Structure 1
Amino acid sequence: MSDHRHRFLQLAVRAEALRFGEFTLKSGRISPYFFNAGRFDTGRLLAELAACYADAVDAAGLDFELVFGPAYKGIPLATALACEYARRGRDLPLAFNRKEAKTHGEGGHLIGAKLAGRRVLIVDDVITAGTAIREALSSIREAGGIPAGIAIALDRQERVREDAAESAAQAVAAEHGIPVIAVATLSDLLDFAGETAALAAHRDALLAYRARYGMV
Structure 2
Amino acid sequence: MDYKKKFITLSLRKKALMFGKFKLKSGRISPYFFNSGLLSTGKDILKVGLFYAHLIVNSKINFDLLFGAAYKGIPIVIATSIALSHYYNINIPYSFNRKEKKTHGEKGLFIGKNVKNKKVIILDDVITSGISINHACEIIEKQGGYISSIFVLLDRKEKINKNLYINTYNKKYNINSIITMKDIILYLIERKELKKNIPDLIKYLQKYSIFENKNILI
> What TM-score do the two structures reach when normalised by structure 1?
0.92
State the Cα distance separating 1:117 from its structure 2 match: 2.1
Contact kept, 8 Å, 2:128 with 2:158, in 1: the verdict is: no
In the alignment, structure 1 segments of 5+ residues that lack a partner are: none
Question: 2:110: which partner in 1?
Answer: 110
Q: CA RMSD in A?
A: 1.4
Percent identity between matched residues is 36
Tell me which amino acid in the other structure corresponds to 1:60.
S
Once residues 148 and 194 of structure 1 are traced to their aligned partners in structure 2, the CA distance between those partners, rounded to angstroms, is: 35
Q: Name 2:140's counterpart in structure 1.
A: 140
Q: Distance in 2 between matches of 1:65 and 1:207?
A: 39
SS of residue matched to 2:109: strand
CA contact (8 A) 1:69 1:75 kept: yes
* Equivalent in 167, 172, 177 of residue 169 of structure 2: 172
Q: Distance in 1 between matches of 2:68 and 2:55?
A: 17
SS at match of 1:102: coil
Which shifted more, 112-121 or 183-192?
112-121
Q: Is the 8 A contact 1:7 1:52 kept in 2?
A: no
Mapped to 2, the partners of 1:28 and 1:98 lie a distance apart of 27
- Give 5+ residue unaligned stretches, structure 2: 213-218
The normalised TM-score by structure 2 is 0.91
Q: Structure 1, residues 132-184: CA drift from partner, whole Å, max 9, x if none?
A: 222211221232221100001101112111x1352x2x12233xx22100110
Q: How does 1:176-215 map to 2 (within 5 A)?
A: 177-215=172-210
Residue 17 of structure 1 corresponds to 16
Q: For 1:58-104, what per-residue CA distance to the aligned partner results, in whole angstroms no more than 9, with x for missing partners?
A: 23222111110111111111111111111121111010110111010
**Alpha-carbon distance in 2 for matches of 1:144, 1:102:** 19
- Bigger shift: residues 93-102 or 57-66: 57-66
